[in-house]
Amino acid sequence: MKSLILTNEYPPHIYGGAGIHVKYLSRELAHLCQVEVRCFGEQSDTDSNPSVSGFSSDSSDYTAPKQLHSVFGALQKCLDFNTERIDADLVHLHTWYSHFGGILAKKNYGIPMVLTVHSLEPLRPWKREQLGNGYDCTVWLEKTAIEMADAVIAVSHETRMDILSLFDVDEAKVHVIHNGIDPEEFHPTFDPDLLRKYGIAPEMPFVLFVGRVTRQKGIVHLVNAIRHLDPDVQVVLCAGAPDTEEIEVEMKTAVEKAKASFGGRIVWIQEMLPTPDKIVIYSHARVFCTPSIYEPFGIINLEAMACETPVVGSAIGGMKEIILPGETGLLVPLAQQSQSPFEAIHPEIFARDLATAINSLMRDPERCQAMGVAGRERVLECFSWTEIAHKTLRLYESLVTQEV
């Protein structure tokens, strides 16, 4: 058995949950079968398992609108994925960036196509701010790939329901295989000096956010909640890589406004942190917050839980399958104004509800400690990459024995 994985993100170029997923899944699958990874970048390690080849494209001569460059660049790299001979038994796709490459591989090389859904374009309409009309292309690419895939992997049961409601796909082809975590890498690790390096006061309890500055992750809602937090709380925002200039400006304005009205301390780290540093900051945090407005799974929550930090998260998507309310953290319902999933957020009510949940845990360190221990136990029991790799391999085997 040989699997060809096509992906945008792969180490060292990881900026989201899909990249983390591919990193660990490919590593664990390599213990069970041959794995080849073709990704965006300059990576090259073709003598190991997994073998890795990076592909790049030069957009300097593009005269198309700038918003379209990432779309056309992805299509070019997907074509290059295929002009290099494919000898795998099947192709496995991750995110829309790789979908065109998988379609070409399925049609031209006659191999089954598996697709993991990490998020769904129709449920991320704010991407139009970033891609312009290119968003319509990504929606079409995703729909085409999902509907012609031999198997679709959803990272949560709610994502599976979204797939079945949005696309014309046989429900027997849609399988739930959760994301995972490496608990040997992510575990409680303490270093007060590292906190000081980033401007965090070790002696002051803090609530932590880690993620990109994007509408999907809801960071602006957390920033708006800061004015309702207790004044003895420290807020640490590890938030970089804004999707657009507009949301970057919006974020900066919100942080300045929060600083003017909050008696506590706000630390904004505007960079993507190395994993070892991130683990230390997770471990020192009293509470981790994920205020997402759309979250198919939320692998970031597993990272925090593995470091024995309780999570306050939005009661949406896969987070309802990760966080046990009252046991490993708290879930906060999105305050709704309408039935539309995109116009549902009542920002002031949601911000207040987030603050109420955060305050309740920050005031009770013993409860936080008990939740943290329970969270790590849940990670060890339910979210092992080894078991996820075995489930994925069994799906592969079921496909290659079928007539495509």
Query: Tokens 């593009």 belong to which residue?
Result: 62
> pLDDT class for 404, splitting at 50, 70, 90?
very low
Number of helices (H), then strands (E), belonging to the chain: the values are 15, 14
Residues 163 and 238 in one domain: no
Report how far residue 14's alpha carbon sits from residue 36's, in angstroms, rounded to the nearest whole number. Answer: 18
Distance CA 32, CA 26 (A): 10
Q: Is residue 185 included in any domain, yes or no?
A: no
Residue 187 lies in a domain: no
Contact 369, 354 (CB under 8 A): no
Compute the C-alpha angle 77/82/83, nearest 5°. Answer: 95
238 and 293, same domain (yes or no): yes
Over residues 115-138, the mean pLDDT reads 94
Give the number of C-alpha atoms closer than 13 A to the C-alpha of residue 350, restricted to the C-beta side: 24
pLDDT higher than 80, residue 343: no
The predicted pLDDT at position 345 comes to 74
Give yes or no for a contact between 234 and 265, defined as CB atoms under 8 angstroms apart: yes
Q: Are residues 234 and 365 in the same domain?
A: yes
Residue 218 within any structural domain of the chain: yes
Count how many domains the chain has. Answer: 2
pLDDT of residue 240: 87
pLDDT at 239 (0 to 100): 94
- pLDDT by residue (tens digit) across 202-239? 999 999 999 989 989 999 999 999 999 999 999 999 99
Q: What is the pLDDT of residue 344?
A: 61
Residue 234 maps to a domain: yes
Structure-token pair, residue 129: 């701010």
CB atoms within 10 A of CB 173: 17
Mean pLDDT of 376-399: 95
- Distance from the first to the final alpha carbon of the chain: 16
pLDDT over 70 (residue 403)? no
For residue 259, tell me if it sits in a domain: yes
Average pLDDT, the chain: 94
pLDDT in tens, 58-109: 999 999 999 999 999 999 999 999 999 999 999 999 999 999 999 999 999 9
Q: Looking at the structure, tell me whether residues 267 and 286 fall in a common domain.
A: yes
Residue 354 belongs to some domain of the structure? yes
On whether both 265 and 355 belong to a single domain, the answer is yes
Rounded to whole angstroms, how far apart are CA atoms 257 and 261?
7
The H-assigned helical ranges of 339-384 are 347-362, 365-382
**Encoded tokens for 93:** 């796709």
Residues 142 and 228 in one domain: no
Are 329 and 204 within one domain?
Answer: yes
In 189-263, the DSSP E strands lie at: 206-212, 234-240
The CATH number of the domain where 343 resides is what?
3.40.50.2000
How does residue 272 score in pLDDT terms, banded at 50, 70 and 90?
Answer: confident
Q: Are residues 82 and 207 in the same domain?
A: no
Judgement on whether residues 58 and 87 belong to the same structural domain of the protein: yes
Are 61 and 91 found together in one domain? Answer: yes
Q: Does the structure show a pLDDT above 50 at 49?
A: yes
Give the range of the structural domain holding residue 235, as residue numbers without chain letter.
Answer: 192-382
Mean pLDDT value of segment 338-367: 85
Domain assignment present for 145? yes
Q: Do 114 and 65 fall within a single domain?
A: yes
Q: Is residue 186 part of a domain?
A: no
Say if residue 66 is in the same domain as residue 141: yes
* pLDDT at res. 152: 98
Residue 269's DSSP bridge partners are: 238
Instruction: Say if residue 339's pLDDT is above 60.
Output: no
Confidence band, pLDDT 50/70/90 cuts, at residue 334: confident
